[in-house]
Amino acid sequence: MNIAIFGANGRTGSLLTGRALAAGHTVSALVREPKNFSYAARTRVVEGSVFDPAAIAATLRDTDAVFSALGAHSPVKKEDVLERAMPLITAAMEQYGPSRLIALGSAGALPTSLDKQPAWRRWIVQKIVYNVFLKYPVASQVDQYRVLSHSNLDWTMVMPPMLTDGPARGKLRIDPDALPRNGSRISRSDVADFMMLQLTNPQWIKRGVYITW
Ligand SMILES: NC(=O)c1ccc[n+]([C@@H]2O[C@H](COP(=O)([O-])OP(=O)(O)OC[C@H]3O[C@@H](n4cnc5c(N)ncnc54)[C@H](OP(=O)(O)O)[C@@H]3O)[C@@H](O)[C@H]2O)c1
């Protein structure tokens, strides 16, 4: 397949890029600073910002599926990366294709995200973590879900809790309805593996899916 990756130089995006190349796919990568992108020689690099519709169109050209692993630099600043990028990406895909979009989101994107947590944990995570410390990233994910779910695309929003570095464990809990009980973290490696599997899995098309250790 030819795969477009937005956020290809990020921590999860570079894992996705490496996995896609290792699986024999070709990759079209939108990056802001190609000189810092370790896969530059092995990918079709589009240099630019995801806020530029022309750069998005160039990244999507001749691709069969799209990964987004976009995100803001700081969880405590209002950067509006997803708020600005996802309407542009979904509009471009609706216009030129492709139709398959696998986007990295986050638990917290829906009001039902914490329904399977013990009451004490639900209160702490919602009132203190989501409403205070992570209010901007959570607002971005709420908006990303809204944009994807109003699109005509074959989208999947992968919704993990806190991301860690380090190896994949390969043993995930997967739930389409809410974050599994006491789920609190998962590695970016496991997230990238799960997103890769979605290239050929229709099960979670047009919905969000929670994954956690
Ligand atoms: N951190 C967590 O615990 C956690 C938990 C759950 C979900 N998530 C979500 O997971 C996603 C990715 O996480 P991560 O840690 O892999 O992120 P990351 O390393 O910060 O990567 C984000 C990527 O987005 C790119 N980007 C931002 N603005 C851009 C723009 N205007 N044009 C082009 N590219 C742009 C960055 O490009 P540059 O390389 O040029 O900066 C970077 O490649 C985020 O949306 C986050 O909300 C995070």
Domains and CATH numbers, the chain: 2-212 (3.40.50.720)
pLDDT digits (tens, 9 = 90+) for 4-37: 999 999 999 999 999 999 999 999 999 999 999 9
d(CA 175, CA 80) in angstroms, rounded, equals: 27
Q: What is the mean pLDDT of residues 104-127?
A: 97
> What is residue 32's predicted lDDT score, i.e. its pLDDT?
97
> Which ligand 1 atom is at minimum distance from the Cα of 50?
32
What's residue 106's pLDDT?
98
Q: Is the pTM of the predicted complex or chain greater than 0.75?
A: yes
Predicted pLDDT of residue 171: 95
Q: What is the pLDDT of residue 83?
A: 98
Provide residues with CB under 6 Å of ligand 1: 7, 9-13, 30, 32-33, 49-51, 69-71, 81, 104, 106, 137, 160, 162-163, 188
CA dist 190 and 19 (Å) reads 11
pLDDT of residue 64: 98
Contacting residues for 157 by C-beta, under 8 A, at least 6 apart: 103, 104, 105, 109, 144, 145, 148, 207, 208, 209
Compute the mean pLDDT over every residue in the chain, rounded to the nearest whole number. 97
Burial of 41 (0-12, 13-18, 19+ CB in 10 A): exposed
Mean pLDDT of the region 165-188: 97
Task: Look up residue 15 and give its amino acid.
Answer: L
